[in-house]
Structure 1
């Protein structure tokens, strides 16, 4: 039999017969591609726009520092807890920014929306602050605890009011909101995040302006 009479094996069959495993780049070149994953859906939350009428007006300027956060929350991934000591993230769902950066922006906007303060902005951007608000994002996750089929959304922040330029802490308080989601759909979970965070930001704005007016 001449060399022209030898049957030509397909590339895929040859790989099977020889037991050869090729790198991913070679497999792609052969036309064997991994199944593409759908992109993550991005979600955002809203600033608070309604406040108690008895919040005082203050003729001061407030700088708001970016929130501190543990590494597990300092991410654009949406945190979920299915046990007391474990943290995970929802698949194919993310915030539009890291959680602390998003909360920082929304908190600044919430103070602006109150209409009760002369000036408010991010610390370190040229604002000559009379006070600074230091915050820490301690809880910002959906919780499936105690065998729950639908999550509860927990948001907890600690705030410290600092007098400038002395850099003296004049007040400190923690605020928390726990909001059950109506069902297990991602849209419902995000809406519950929005309500829980809005409740916390409303309390922070009211507490801060009241304390500043008293000092």
Structure 2
């Protein structure tokens, strides 16, 4: 009887040790997996823009509607990746962040917001809203990248636009606006700040000339 009890205790001890070893192996595997997951699923930073457009001298009466079409862009810029160039005819992209939307859609949204902020009396919308406009602003995003030369970075934004009178579909104004702005700090956040300032300068020119076109 004593021997039976002794053998059962030994068996239980062996079983307990085996289970603990299995738990340790399983825990090690889970820890290893936890160490891998952040590297595999590391999220990218999303960047948006809030260009500060200056006040404009708008005409006293703005009894026409404007639709802002999404800008056209080449395949290198029609993406949410933030473009940069360090040599002629070569486009690269930042690895640590992207725009919150594809660049043409982002520019369209911010231009509509700029019109609404500085000319609230103007009826303005996007082409997908099914509006019947008096004018359509058609544009092309020619440059929207960070440029590095000699180690210093700057943002380059260039937009060409045409104001089209409807329903005649007649071009009444052609506009080209370009701005370069040095990086406001180190790294990608500094370049994003430069994009914001450059886009504000481009919007200033576009909005000023568009508002005067129907009157002229």
Q: Which residue in the other structure is 1:132 paired with?
A: 136
**What is the Cα deviation at residue 117 of structure 1?**
4.2
8 Å Cα contact 1:80-1:89 kept in structure 2: yes
RMSD: 2.0
Consecutive unaligned residues of structure 2, counting only runs of 5 or more, are 1-32
- TM-superposition CA deviations, 1:57-100 (whole Å, max 9, x none): 42210011100001000000000001011000001210000000
Deviation above 3 Å: which 4+ runs of structure 1? Answer: none
Q: Which residue in the other structure is 1:121 paired with?
A: 125
Separation in 2 of the partners of 1:142 and 1:201?
Answer: 18
Matching of residues 103-118 of structure 1 within 5 Å: 103-115=107-119, 117-118=121-122
8 Å Cα contact 2:78-2:102 kept in structure 1: yes
Provide the TM-score with structure 1 as the length reference: 0.78
Separation in 2 of the partners of 1:131 and 1:117?
Answer: 16
Separation in 2 of the partners of 1:186 and 1:118?
Answer: 35
Matching of residues 144-159 of structure 1 within 5 Å: 144-145=148-149, 147=150, 149-159=151-161
Q: Which residue in the other structure is 2:27 paired with?
A: none
Separation in 2 of the partners of 1:196 and 1:118?
Answer: 24
Structure with more helix by fraction? 2
Q: Highest CA radius of gyration, 1 or 2?
A: 2
Provide the TM-score with structure 2 as the length reference: 0.78
Q: Which residue in the other structure is 2:59 paired with?
A: 56
- TM-superposition CA deviations, 1:129-186 (whole Å, max 9, x none): 11110010000000012x2x12111000001010100111111111000101143322
